[in-house]
Amino acid sequence: MSNKYKIAVIPGDGTGPEVIREGLKVIDAVSKKYKFNIKYDRYDYGGQRYIDTGKILSDREAEDLKKYDAIYLGGIGHPDVKPGILEKGILLKLRFDLDQYINLRPVKLYENIKTPIKNAGPEDVDFTVIRENTGGLYTGIGEFKNKGTKDEVAVQSMVYSRRQVERCVRFAFEYIKNMHKANPWKGLTAEEKEKGYIGKLTLCGKTNVLTYAYDLWERVFNKVARDYRSIITNYIHVDAICIYMVENPKIFDGIVTGNMFGDIITDLAAVIQGGMGVAPSGNLNPEGVSMFEPVHGTAPDFAGKGVINPVAAILTAQMMLNHLGEINAAADIEKSVKNTIKRMKSMQVGEMGYTTSEVGDLITEDIS
Ligand code: IPM
Ligand code: MN
């Protein structure tokens, strides 16, 4: 019997619905080819519903999403809503309530994509950022003192429990180990290979200033590393990570880091892989329901014009299918994305040489 999946689709705001439409087109094509069934339920959570009804996202609505095999999300945010309301009330609430403690962000430069990094090719940019997704500065713990007065003080706390750090770090080691079980990382030297190493994991932190939070991260990282002798480990401060990502991205295989640094370095990473138009991500709860969303957000200025690049959303669909275990279908999507990219003029908004839906069609035809 063929596999059946139930997916919650949240197209969201701005260009979200346009890119999700293309992602679903591609999923339909592979589901026919590989004979699995997907049932979608659509939810209108987002800025427009908030403006129309005043509803953000209730505990019950978040809870209800736990019955799905996965969630496919376009983007949340609205220019007419004050920053923070929808992000905290919908996106972060989902990540937190569903305990999606990993934000997995693969960074791959595909053939034929322009990168601002001089002389870099696909062999130079190919790594994965494993971002902690439920803690740190994102917990919203903090306060104002003497608000509005000239003595005002604002506090925003970076909070991490050992348990939170350990499950993230362990996931990162497992992920790198599984990825390289059959295919060792290309960046290994002959000597390292001989010693039996298969991959590398870098801890990104700021131990010279954040002497509580990243001290904990470093101790946990070093402890967990002992269980993964085949993985090379190192530590780099977040500011230096930004230098190397531009100067010598080849040195990265896996990068594990906290929530805030992960947010920032993955925008930089998206730029070196060719822009927001190609950067996918997954909010994972390895024991529960995971949610897949492109890194780019809603890009409201471009909504409804058919100019946004759907490749990030399509690669996000690919990650979702991989996660569901449809590995061949996922590999097929990646192959067809690569073929289509070769035909596109650019990955940038409005410069693709095709409309949003034409890009989706090209990928779908390549699959069929
Ligand atoms: C991201 C986004 C979100 C984040 C915002 C929209 C809350 O920037 O997914 O990277 O900071 O995590
Ligand atoms: Mn971000």
Last residue of a domain, one of 221, 240, 273: 273
Q: Does residue 1 register a pLDDT over 60?
A: no
Q: Are residues 269 and 288 in the same domain?
A: no
What is the pLDDT confidence band of residue 2, given thresholds at 50, 70 and 90?
A: low
Ligand 1 is surrounded, with C-beta below 6 A, by 87, 91-92, 263, 295, 297
Q: Are residues 90 and 14 in the same domain?
A: yes
What is the pLDDT confidence band of residue 172, given thresholds at 50, 70 and 90?
A: very high
Residue 84: HSE in the Cβ half-sphere, 13 Å Cα cutoff: 3
109 located within any domain: no
SS3 call for 103: strand
Contacts of 177 (CB under 8 A, 6+ apart): 198, 199, 228, 230, 231
263 located within any domain: yes
62 located within any domain: yes
Q: Which atom of ligand 1 is nearest to the CA of 92?
A: 7
Q: Are residues 165 and 238 in the same domain?
A: yes
The confidence score (pLDDT) of residue 98 equals: 98
Q: Does residue 88 register a pLDDT over 90?
A: yes
Please tell me the residue having the least CA distance from ligand 1 atom 9.
295
| Three-class secondary structure assignment of 281-299 | CEEECCCCCEEECCCCCCC
CATH number of 41's domain: 3.40.718.10
* Tokens describing residue 338: 């690569």
Last residue of a domain, one of 217, 244, 273: 273
Q: How far apart are CA 348 and CA 39, in angstroms?
A: 32
Last residue of a domain, one of 273, 291, 313: 273
Q: Are residues 151 and 241 in the same domain?
A: yes
Can you name the residues that pair with 144 across neighbouring β-strands? Answer: 154
Q: Are residues 254 and 286 in the same domain?
A: no
pLDDT exceeding 90 applies to what percent of the chain?
98
Give tens-digit pLDDT for 105-117: 999 999 999 999 9
Q: Which atom of ligand 1 is nearest to the CA of 259?
A: 12
C-alpha of residue 263 to centroid of ligand 2, in Å = 5
Q: Are residues 27 and 82 in the same domain?
A: yes
| Whether the predicted model's global pTM rises above the 0.85 cut | yes
Residue 213: HSE in the Cβ half-sphere, 13 Å Cα cutoff: 19
Q: Does residue 164 register a pLDDT over 90?
A: yes
107 located within any domain: no
Q: How far apart are CA 173 and CA 203, in angstroms?
A: 11
Please tell me the residue having the least CA distance from ligand 1 atom 7.
87
Q: Which atom of ligand 1 is nearest to the CA of 103?
A: 9
Please tell me the residue having the least CA distance from ligand 1 atom 4.
263
Structural domain count, the chain = 2
Give tens-digit pLDDT for 187-238: 999 999 999 999 999 999 999 999 999 999 999 999 999 999 999 999 999 9
Q: Are residues 161 and 197 in the same domain?
A: yes
Q: Are residues 170 and 22 in the same domain?
A: no
Q: In what order do the strands lie in the sheet with 199-205?
A: 37-42, 4-12, 70-75, 290-292, 282-284, 102-108, 126-132, 254-257, 199-205, 231-237
The confidence score (pLDDT) of residue 178 equals: 97
Please tell me the residue having the least CA distance from ligand 1 atom 12.
263
Question: Residue 224 in contact with residue 256, Cβ under 8 Å?
Answer: no
Q: Are residues 264 and 289 in the same domain?
A: no
Give tens-digit pLDDT for 338-351: 999 999 999 999 99
* Tokens describing residue 323: 């996660």
The confidence score (pLDDT) of residue 207 equals: 98
Q: Are residues 144 and 86 in the same domain?
A: no
365 located within any domain: yes
SS3 call for 348: coil
What is the pLDDT confidence band of residue 299, given thresholds at 50, 70 and 90?
A: very high
The confidence score (pLDDT) of residue 68 equals: 98
Q: Does residue 160 register a pLDDT over 90?
A: yes
Mean per-residue pLDDT of the chain: 97
The confidence score (pLDDT) of residue 3 equals: 86
Q: Does residue 65 register a pLDDT over 80?
A: yes
Q: Which of 91, 261, 284 to mutate to test the pocket of ligand 1 (most atoms within 8 A of CB)?
A: 91
C-alpha of residue 59 to centroid of ligand 1, in Å = 20
Please tell me the residue having the least CA distance from ligand 1 atom 8.
263
Q: Are residues 152 and 75 in the same domain?
A: no
| Structural domain span for residue 209 | 115-273
* Tokens describing residue 293: 């969303």
Q: How far apart are CA 174 and CA 23, in angstroms?
A: 28
| Greatest distance between any 2 Cα atoms in the chain | 68
Give tens-digit pLDDT for 259-283: 999 999 999 999 999 999 999 999 9
